Amino acid sequence: MEEIDRSRVPQHIAIIMDGNGRWAKKQGSIRLVGHKFGVGSVRRVTEAAAKLGVRYLTLYAFSTENWSRPAAEVEGLMKLLSSTIDSEIGDLMKNNVRLKMVGDGRLPEALRRKMEKGEEMTKGNTGVTLTLALSYSGRWEIADAARRIAEKVERGEMKSGDVSVETFAKEMQMSFLPEPELLIRTSGEQRISNFMLWETAYSEFYFTDTLWPDFGEKELVEAIAEYQRRERRFGKTSEQIEDGGSN
């Protein structure tokens, strides 16, 4: 496995878990089989992230656009999510993982309640924060923040002149998370697909051809190693960064 600098591991990694369908097709199985094996990757990657010292792991599990998939796949995915919570909650507790969910809440009632119960059970855990983006889209999150601000203005709690990048960011559903230093997308697609549009403004993007069910600790370490070879400039010049970013 590649060597990484343990003192410079990203504190927040976000992943667009893609390629389950193609993985299944390659095995001659139906798409849902790929999703089932994808759950195994979630388990492995969460454990590896904890081991490596990552504090926050955010996984794109279902987009608002994914509601347009064939009904049988959507239903299968919802059932899989539900059974996964049941089967994994014990290990999440044992591994000190804090579970969070973000999204527009448009989920089957029983699943939404189960997720909320999982959040409640794990809220005191101090290890990795595992956030699942479920029925989530970046545009929705931004529009939702704008709506909250408009409501505050209507109630007289805020003035339009108070709206800034900082006050806006506070209204985002993901405001409990630091911005991800690293965004990974598996399966060879190189697009954002409406994920974390606001928060990835300065994230490093890492694309790999590996399909999500084949992604594990080794692949995560490779992504972190690549991240550590990058120079993050935040608009400054390379010389400024080499000087320690102070001038």
37 counts as binding ligand IPE under rule CB under 6 A = no
Q: Which does 210 bind (CB under 5 to 8 A by kind): Mg ion, ligand IPE, none?
A: none
CA distance 61 to 108: 15
Burial class for 154, CB neighbours closer than 10 Å (0-12, 13-18, 19+): exposed
Cβ at position 47, least distance to ligand IPE in Å: 20
- Name the catalytic one among 5, 18, 125, 144: 18
Candidates 39-47, 49-57, 184-192, 239-247; binding stretch for ligand IPE (CB under 6 A): 184-192
Contacts with ligand IPE, 196-235, as mask; x by CB under 6 A? ----------------------------------------
16 counts as binding ligand IPE under rule CB under 6 A = yes
Candidates 58-66, 94-102, 109-117, 200-208; binding stretch for ligand IPE (CB under 6 A): 58-66
Residues that bind ligand IPE (CB under 6 A): 16-22, 60-63, 66, 77, 187, 189, 191, 193
